[in-house]
Chains A and B, each alone.
Chain A
Amino acid sequence: MSENANGEAGGPGLRTRWVELAVALLIMLGGAVVVFDSMRIGAKWASDGPQAGYFPFLVGCALILSGLAVVVGTLRHWSRLAGSVFVEYDRLKPVLTMLVPTVVYVIAIRYLGIYVASAVFIGAFMVWKGKYGVVPTLSVSLGVPIVMFALFEIWFLVPLPKGPLERMLGY
């Protein structure tokens, strides 16, 4: 999405028409992938009914066509859409302040385990966005993972991803 932003550099925000085009093209691409894979497994109507790829093939075609329709529609109204802003840059910032830490958090789960990662994520977010002090931050950021641990690992016996800390503690 940043490429689109560059294309419209200088504007007050991300233009709707570019986002519209990008999403539609992605949908068409997805459709092409579906069509391609369906051909591989057979997309015909055999003697005993449709093959495994028959419906996905049609679905893929419909994806390409509907994506195309959106593209055409956007291009037809190109100038009329000129003023429409998908998201203003100063509004995009808070969205990214949520999204980027979330992505980091999810990656961290793999290495730290879900409990430690959650504690860090909640704590960091509270300090950064909420400007909370040490006591409320620690009580929430440690409390939630501990409750989760009790609930899942001990009570329900559902294993969640664990990291080095849990292993050290013998789990």
Chain B
Amino acid sequence: MEDIGNLLHGFAVALTWQNLLFMLVGILLGVLIGVLPGLGGANGVAILLPLTFSMSPTSAIIMLSCIYWGALFGGAITSILFNIPGEPWSVATTFDGYPMAQQGRAGEAMTAAFTSSFVGAFVAVMVITFLAPLVARFALKFGPPEYFSVQFLTFCSFIGMSREPPAKTIAAMMIGFALAAVGLDIVTGQLRMTFGTTELLQGFDFLIAVIGLFGLGEILLTMEEGLAFKGAKGRIDAKVVWETWKKLPRYWMTSLRGCLIGCWMGITPGGATPASFMSYGMARRMSKDKDSFGNGNIEGVVAPETAAHAAGTSALLPMLTLGIPGSPTAAVLLGGLLIWGLQPGPLLFVEKKEFVWGLIASMYLGNIVGLLIVLTTVPWWAAILRIPFSIIAPVIVVICAVGAYTVHNNLFDVFMMVVFGVAGYFFKKLRYPLAPLVLALVLGDMAETSFRQSMLLSGGNVSVFWSNGLVGSIMTLALVLLLWPLISRGLGAWKQRIRAAEDRAA
């Protein structure tokens, strides 16, 4: 139990008053960054990185990882209140979080989101603490075929959950894929669908589409339905936290599943965004009450939030032990480590014990401090819904514009955001599902790249996806999930026939 001793020593490092102050500042900054769409965790950490050069590496990484925590927490707030995901991994939170807010349950949704985030992150930190060396090696097994299989699994776990007409579901998904393909193709270095314009070189960022489709589209819908937010009447007081907490233990299974999916996706590293989608998809599949998903089911908030945060946190593990960033933010933190002269890798745990365990201890503390801070602010956030619509609507549009701009510092993106907003309005009213579009947009490029890398490695041989136990079992699992509706129907028919045969025999 040398680790425990190290951890306690780490607490001693992290628990100086300066470091606690940095933690507090970091969390607050992070929440702010998370709330502003576009200015995501990765940008936020990158922007603030230079400020930390004059600090000691331990204090600096504590503050930066607290910014990361804060951004993870903060992303959920705008998703729930305004249907604008502040971060890519909060998209799945909007599916049920926003309907809850519309029903006047914004406080409940936020409490559930924050608490689930906390649980997910906490479990992931424990995994880091006790399984670090063991688990880290696992990530090395992941080559392109394995990555593709995980991305394929995410699709398969999410697909088939749409109630919308199949043709429209396919159309929505294909729009997502098509948008994802715009820009530079990483495998051949060719430009795709840019038609000679410089504006399209960057491709369509997922966040711009999401801010438009969800955020602006929702404002337009709200305008049509009258100049008011639904759910403004919701009761707001601090008690909502306790009342929600009383309910939450019921969803321990969803939570546990979220933690498992999240930790696995963070370590492999598949990333927080796919993890949140996968967890949401699985929660819905496993639920007895499938139709309540998308209409304000609290489980639909618990599942993606737990997974996103478990993934976001465990993504720090491959970063520290192998130098592979499991998320864009982790990539920026990695840059910070290098600048301070700390080389991530297996030896970091041996040579810079103080730093590593200080960081891990600060993860525990930062997470707890973060939860306390965001929970106390729940009533304030919920109160935003009470601001008259004619004030908040233009402010939201401004925030959307700023968000769209800061993604790539490009005005063209702001125009595209408006186009996506109009598209979102039409799609929503014509029952084109937005979730498959968004999923395809975020995963399409990655999945295609992994697939083609696999093909390069195997010389164009598709059997590479069943070339070893790991990739084979993930692919098989994915196919089973994809075909499950058919399989279960087939099984049912078969059973019936047997029963009929037995009856006849008898």
Contact = CB atoms under 8 A, between A and B. Distances in A.
B456 A157 contact: no
Interface in A116-168: 118, 121-122, 125-126, 129-130, 132, 136, 140, 144, 148, 151-152, 156-161
Interface string B14-58: 000000000000000000100000010001100110000000000
A118 B405 CA distance: 14
A9 interface: no
A106 B430 contact: no
Contacts of A103: 418
A20 B430 contact: yes
B127 interface: no
B361 interface: no
Contacts of A24: 171
A156 B430 CA distance: 41
A61 to B, nearest CB: 9
A48 B456 contact: yes
A41 B192 CA distance: 8
A56 B181 contact: yes
19 contacts: A37-B195, A48-B459, A49-B454, A49-B456, A52-B190, A55-B177, A55-B181, A55-B451, A63-B178, A66-B168, A94-B223, A95-B220, A126-B390, A126-B391, A144-B395, A158-B39, A158-B47, A158-B406, A161-B405
Interface string B207-228: 0000000001001100111110
Interface of B: 32, 39, 43-44, 47-48, 165, 167-168, 170-171, 174-175, 177-178, 181, 185, 187-188, 190, 192-193, 195, 216, 219-220, 223-227, 388, 390-391, 393-395, 397-398, 401-402, 405-406, 409, 411, 414-415, 418, 421-422, 425-427, 429-430, 432, 448, 451-452, 454-456, 459-460
Contacts of B452: 49-50
Interface string A42-78: 0001111111110110011011001101100100000
B193 A114 contact: no
Nearest to A57: B181
Contacts of A91: 224-225
A157 to B, nearest CB: 6
Given A59-B181, A87-B224, A126-B390, A106 B401 contact: yes
B448 to A, nearest CB: 5
Instruction: Give chain A's interface residue range (CB within 8 Å of chain B).
Output: 35 or more
A99 interface: yes
A49 B455 contact: yes
B397 A102 contact: yes
A81 to B, nearest CB: 12
B411 A161 contact: yes
Contacts of A101: 394
Contact of A148 (B44, B193, B402, B451): B402
Contact of B455 (A48, A62, A152): A48
A59 B426 contact: no
A82 interface: no
A59 B174 contact: yes
Given A52-B188, A144-B395, A156 B178 contact: no
A112 interface: no
B220 A30 contact: no
A160 B406 CA distance: 7
A157 B44 CA distance: 11
B47 A157 contact: yes
Contacts of A87: 224, 429
Contacts of B388: 130
B435 to A, nearest CB: 16
Contact of A144 (B44, B175, B398): B398
Given A56-B193, A122-B395, A102 B455 contact: no
Given A63-B178, A103-B418, 8 more contacts: A19-B429, A30-B178, A46-B460, A55-B448, A56-B192, A87-B429, A95-B425, A129-B393
Contact of A160 (B225, B405, B418): B405
A167 B429 CA distance: 43
A85 to B, nearest CB: 11
Contact of A121 (B397, B421, B422, B426): B397
Nearest to B168: A70
Nearest to B191: A41
Contacts of A38: 192
B415 to A, nearest CB: 6
A70 B167 contact: yes
